[in-house]
Amino acid sequence: ARVPAFRVGQRALGSSPAAAPNANGAGDTFCAGFLAAALWQRPRLTLQQAAQCAALAALHRVDSALRAAPSQVPMAELVRCVVSGEAADLEVI
């Protein structure tokens, strides 16, 4: 499956449009997000959906405003965003 990266600084996810990217740990976060999504049981995710969840997890690591948020987004919320189609509305690069 091939999934494009999400653009940093999207208001849709609650970050400021001036958010600075910090790619430190993005690859590790993508891999962990992919494994978690691939093992997700309810609902069962396709390979494409698992990759989208991983890309969202990496976005939350890369976007400085999301990274500095007082509370982190749980995996269940990333899965819900992908399954509901909300992730498809986000701008990709």
* Under 8 Å between Cβ of 55 and 76: no
CA–CA dist 10, 15 (Å, integer) = 6
| Of 24-28, 48-52, 61-65, 68-72, the least confident | 68-72
Tens digit of each residue's pLDDT (9 = 90 or more) over 65-85? 888 778 888 999 999 999 999
**Cα torsion at 83, 25, 65, 11 (round to 10°)?**
-30
Q: What is the pLDDT of residue 75?
A: 92
pLDDT band at residue 12 using 50, 70 and 90 as cut-offs? low
